[in-house]
Amino acid sequence: MRTAIAILAALLPAVCVHSASASVSVTWLGHSEFLIKPSTGPVVVTDPFDARVGSYPLRHPTADVVTVSHEHFDHNAVGEVRGRFQVIRGVGSHVVHGVDLKGVATFHDQVSGRQRGPNTVFVFRLDGITFCHLGDLGHLLSPQQLKAIGPVDVLMIPVGGTFTIDAKMADEVVHQLKPKVVLPMHYKTRYTAASLPLAGLQPFIEGKSNVRTEKGDTITLTPASLPKTTTIIVLQ
């Protein structure tokens, strides 16, 4: 018994240190695609795109899990991802490598999908941080959808309009979900193809004081480093 207690005592500090130092790196690969790497758990890639989106560099990330919010070419190009990954589509609970990825049913437009079809919002927790990727959300969230999504730490939200919510509606969705970090996506950049008539980022961030612009495409987050109030972080 004493030996067992001694071994447990020796292990506990190491476990605590690991938990305290756990972090998640989030890299914006362009459009709606993010590479999310936790200290422990599966590497997640969201909504991969192909060359038709524009001149974004195709980085062919390696993943354990790939989420697809809907079946459009700029969100379901799983062939651009490397590794032995599992593709997650649709609503419900999907458990992969011990992580529950929850799919919440929404729509790609404001007319219950009659114009552009369904869209799945994905919610998952890695290293103590809850992520929510809205895909091509086209409307404000209903009370039922808000309840299904639950509390969010990091929100990946489309802001470019035309095919999704625009800057004004994105503001309202941020107010609905009250995340700690907002990562804008699906807006026009110098890489976006002319065939995708998206608005740029400026309408979403204009006049806001809670905007932080990073020099690169990656941030590293820990539960302790999350801001106390909602902060928009712009990745390059």
Q: What is the CATH number of the domain that holds 77?
A: 3.60.15.10
- Contact between residue 173 and residue 140 where contact means Cβ atoms under 8 Å apart: yes
Residue 179 included in any domain? yes
Residue 113 included in any domain? yes
Average pLDDT in the chain:
92
Cα 188 from chain centroid? 18
Task: Indicate if the pLDDT at residue 11 is higher than 50.
Answer: no
Task: Indicate if the pLDDT at residue 9 is higher than 50.
Answer: no
pLDDT at residue 71, rounded to an integer:
93
pLDDT at residue 17, rounded to an integer:
33
Name the domain count of the chain.
Answer: 1
Task: Indicate if the pLDDT at residue 147 is higher than 90.
Answer: yes
Which pair of tokens denotes residue 66?
Answer: 């790939």
Residue 7 included in any domain? no
Higher pLDDT, 7 or 50: 50
Task: Indicate if the pLDDT at residue 73 is higher than 80.
Answer: yes
The CB density around residue 146, as the number of other CB atoms within 10 Å, is: 15
pLDDT at residue 107, rounded to an integer:
96
Tell which phi-psi region holds residue 137, choosing left (phi > 0), alpha (psi between -120 and 50) or beta.
Answer: beta
Residue 17 included in any domain? no
Residue 174 included in any domain? yes
Residue 56 included in any domain? yes
- The region of weakest confidence among 8-22, 47-61, 111-125, 178-192 is 8-22
Residue 15 included in any domain? no
| Mean predicted confidence (pLDDT) in 160-174 | 98
| Mean predicted confidence (pLDDT) in 83-92 | 97
In angstroms, the CA 76 to CA 69 distance is 8
Write out the residue range of the structural domain in which residue 94 sits: 23-234
Residue 13's pLDDT band, with cuts at 50, 70 and 90, is: very low
- Contact between residue 230 and residue 210 where contact means Cβ atoms under 8 Å apart: yes
pLDDT at residue 70, rounded to an integer:
94
| Mean predicted confidence (pLDDT) in 70-90 | 96
Residue 13 included in any domain? no
Residue 3's pLDDT band, with cuts at 50, 70 and 90, is: very low
pTM score of the predicted model: 0.91
**Geometric angle at alpha carbon 99, from 98 and 104, rounded to 5°:** 140
pLDDT at residue 40, rounded to an integer:
87
pLDDT at residue 20, rounded to an integer:
53
Q: What number of CA atoms fall less than 13 Å from residue 206's CA on the CB side?
A: 9
Structure confidence by residue, pLDDT tens digits, 134-143: 999 999 999 9
| Mean predicted confidence (pLDDT) in 32-49 | 97
